[in-house]
Chains A and B, each alone.
Chain A
């Protein structure tokens, strides 16, 4: 079974600064998908960014970017110019290319300090 590990239960960052959330995963597969989801206090899960394992280029979405290290099975999320609205739980998720099930990490609670 696939496992996803987020080793930082809580983090904080000063507004306008940069923060990196870590995620590692375990799989024997070569093709898969990785995701970061954000869950703000409203509890609506929002897709932040996704990465296909076959792509070497790191995905970027505005202030959000990932550092995907396939050999190390690492998928960290970097948030630049942090904003108060970035305060949320962040979940890393893995999806195999051969099945529909997603595997979620335990989440990192990020607080942006004004």
Chain B
């Protein structure tokens, strides 16, 4: 199946700093990528939909100025958590839809963010 990578897998940062998470589709082109947040033992919470070459669509309650998303190419989307605070600590997961075959979502391995 299609492979999606995510980097870094784990990051610890100080409060007030910004953190960038990369999501790459390795063997296919992805016109659409999704960013999720997952709390322990809970389901995935969709944060935003990232479309190549256009602005991301954010879900209600997600601050677009805090969670900056850039989808500059068909294989890369980035999520930047700006001015991170301890409450932003979470597990962030990206996923991608293969261009032309958009029925199935392929997930990255996730990034664990801890803000001190």
Query: Which residues of chain A have a CB within 8 Å of any CB of chain B?
Result: 33, 35, 37, 42-47, 50, 52, 89, 91, 93, 95, 100-102, 104-107, 109
Can you report 8 A-B residue pairs in the complex whose CB atoms are below 8 A from each other? A44-B110, A46-B107, A47-B1, A93-B105, A95-B103, A95-B105, A102-B105, A106-B43
Query: Which residues of chain B have a CB within 8 Å of any CB of chain A?
Result: 1, 32, 34, 38, 41-44, 46, 49, 91, 93, 95, 97, 102-107, 109-110
Given A42-B109, A43-B109, CB of A100 within 8 Å of CB of B104? no
Chain B contact residues: helix, strand, loop or mixed: strand
Measured between beta carbons, the chain B residues less than 8 angstroms from A102 are: 34, 46, 105
Measured between beta carbons, the chain A residues less than 8 angstroms from B104 are: 33, 35, 47, 50
Q: How far is the CA of A89 from the CA of B44 in the complex (A)?
A: 12
Are the CB atoms of B1 and A105 closer together than 8 Å? no
Are the CB atoms of B109 and A104 closer together than 8 Å? no
Name, among B1, B32, B103, the residue most crowded by chain A CB atoms within 10 Å (CB to CB). Answer: B103
